[in-house]
Amino acid sequence: MTSALEITNLRKSFGQTEIIRGVDLSVRKGERHAVIGPNGAGKSTLYNLITGRFAQTAGTVQLHGQDLRGKAPFQINRLGLSRSFQITNIFPNMSVFENIRCALLWTRGYKYSFWTLVSRKQDLTDAADEILAQINLTSRRDLPAGVLSYAEQRALEIGITIAGGADVIMLDEPTAGMSHSETDYIVELIRQVTENKTLMMVEHDMGVVFGLADRISVLVYGEIIATGTPEEVRGNPRVQEAYLGTAMEDH
């Protein structure tokens, strides 16, 4: 089976401290892969390494077989990888519709164009409206994104992340700070929008992970201690010991 993301012996040190200590991870094409782990395990650092926000100390990250070392975030994005952020990262002053439309511009080929007027491009408007319908924000279309509720902003963030049409989607704790009903809503949304795409997500909420992921990797102190289906991970004694403990039994 081909992998969308192939991470080999990835390491990252900040000064003397090694945060990521040799991660090997392969995310298969079309699967939903979750990375879980306790606070401080290095999940977000791993994310930032993959998406080019930080430079790795050693090891390789390959996207569809292409080495990402030294590539800037925008170059990685153009290779077909899109990410969301743990802290909501939208364009708060723009309307909800503008947010999505901006996310569409590059992949729709408008690039650095200064000779087309965006409002005259029906394909952009239609595509943006389609995504708004997908993330159920049509009724909020013309509001400034900054005034949306937290859950709506998270939904918008997912919309921005998928709008570019990237086939590898990386979500960083998409349900962080949400109520139960909001979480259910977002999980359902993620399930829909990542249909036929490769999803990699970092998550804290066990319910989300076990309901959504095809495979799970457990990251503890910068190392992957187990990878497998939810059942395999659930049954793994090392995982239980290191991380899940009693939290497992709730689910």
Partner 1 sequence: MTQTSQISASRQAPGLSLGVVMPWLLSAAALVLLPMVFTANSAITVMNQMAITIIFALAYNMLLGQGGMLSFGHAVYMGVGGFACMHIMNMSDFFAALPLPVLPIFGGLVGMGLAIVVGSFSTRSSGTVFAMISLGVGELIAACSIIIVVFFGGEEGISGDRTYGLPFFGIEFLRQIEVYYLTAFWLMLSALLMFLFSRTPIGRIANAVRDNPERAEFLGYSQRWVRFHSFVASGFFAGVAGALFAINYEILTEENLNLATSGEILLVTFLGGVGFFFGPIIGAIVFTLLRTVLGLETELWALYVGLLFLVTVMYFPGGLAGLLMMHSPAVKMKRLRSLVVPYAKVLVPGAFAIIGAACLIEMVFHLRHAPPGDHQMTLFWISFDSHTILPWTVSAVLLIGGGWLAKRFAPEMANSYHAATSLDGGGA
Stretch near partner 1 under the rule CB under 8 A, chosen from 110-118, 174-182, 183-191, 195-203: 110-118
What is the CB neighbour count within 10 angstroms for residue 232? 13
Does 144 engage in binding with partner 1 (CB under 8 A)? yes
Interface with partner 1 (CB under 8 A), residue from 17, 39, 65, 112: 112
Which residue is listed with tokens 């990685």?
76
Interface with partner 1 (CB under 8 A), residue from 30, 86, 110, 138: 110
Stretch near partner 1 under the rule CB under 8 A, chosen from 24-32, 38-46, 59-67, 104-112: 104-112
* Residues between 48 and 77 that touch partner 1 (CB under 8 A): 51, 53, 72-74, 77
Identity of the residue, 122 or 196, whose beta carbon is nearer to partner 1 in the bound complex? 122
Backbone angles phi, psi at 214, to 5 degrees: -80, -40
Stretch near partner 1 under the rule CB under 8 A, chosen from 38-46, 60-68, 115-123, 208-216: 115-123
Question: Closest separation between CB of residue 202 and partner 1, Å?
Answer: 16
Strand partners, 199: 32, 169
Q: Name residue 232's amino acid.
A: E
Please, where are the H alpha helices in the chain?
43-50, 73-78, 96-105, 122-134, 150-163, 180-193, 206-212, 230-235, 237-239
Interface with partner 1 (CB under 8 A), residue from 98, 182, 184, 214: 98
Start-to-end CA distance of the chain, whole Å, equals: 30
Strands 81-83 and 32-36: unpaired
**Contact, 83 vs 170, CB < 8 A?**
yes
Does 44 engage in binding with partner 1 (CB under 8 A)? no
Q: Which residues bind partner 1 (CB under 8 A)?
A: 51, 53, 72-74, 77-78, 82-83, 85, 89-95, 97-98, 101-103, 105-107, 110-120, 122, 125, 142-144, 146, 160-161, 164
